């Protein structure tokens, strides 16, 4: 009996420590967990979603799904990505980083997942979630030989401590 009670308490404690929460994409009047950027001609789209986990620090994961619906390749080979966080100190915060050397063929898909952890621990990491915002900028992508204008997506974390 004691062992079962201890197991239930341990399971509850572990699950409460590692709950995952979504970022809400607040771009183009969207306030949603998943956002699809579509170019004006419908040649490609990028699905964006993100989640975070709080332990002794904030750990975030942002997923991009590139869907090429054109007759040309969607090239990420010369592309750069920058994530700028307002409150969380990620190792590559506010610096452009090269995207993978990938070309998405016509009709193809490619998934890119970024993961990052706060470089500092704190007694109450929830304080960093309050007012947090991440702005992600992608530039340098090509569709065929034509450059694509920079794409900017803004993410705000859903805060369960403020939920009704």
Question: Which tens digits make up the pLDDT trace of 146-156?
Answer: 999 999 999 99
Give the rounded percent of residues in the chain with a pLDDT score beyond 90. 70
pTM: 0.84
Q: What is 20-157's CATH topology?
A: Immunoglobulin-like (2.60.40)
Helices vs. strands in the chain: H and E counts, helices first: 2, 13
Residue ranges of the chain with pLDDT lower than 50?
A: 1-16
CB 157 within 8 A of CB 130: no
């Amino acid at each position: 009996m004691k062992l079962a009670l201890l197991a239930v308490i341990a399971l509850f404690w572990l699950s409460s420590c590692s709950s995952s929460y979504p970022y809400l994409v607040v771009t183009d009047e969207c306030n949603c967990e998943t956002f699809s950027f579509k170019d004006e001609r419908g040649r490609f789209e990028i699905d964006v979603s993100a989640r975070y986990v709080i332990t002794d620090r904030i750990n975030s994961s942002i997923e991009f799904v590139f869907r090429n619906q054109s007759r040309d390749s969607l090239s990420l080979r010369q592309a750069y990505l920058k994530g700028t966080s307002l409150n969380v100190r990620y190792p590559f915060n506010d610096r452009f980083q090269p995207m993978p050397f990938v070309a998405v063929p016509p009709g193809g898909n490619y998934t890119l997942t970024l993961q990052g952890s706060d470089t500092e621990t704190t007694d109450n990491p929830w304080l960093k979630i309050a007012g947090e915002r991440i702005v992600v900028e992608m530039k340098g992508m090509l569709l065929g030989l034509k450059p694509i204008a920079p794409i900017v997506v803004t993410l705000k974390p859903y805060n369960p401590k403020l939920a009704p």
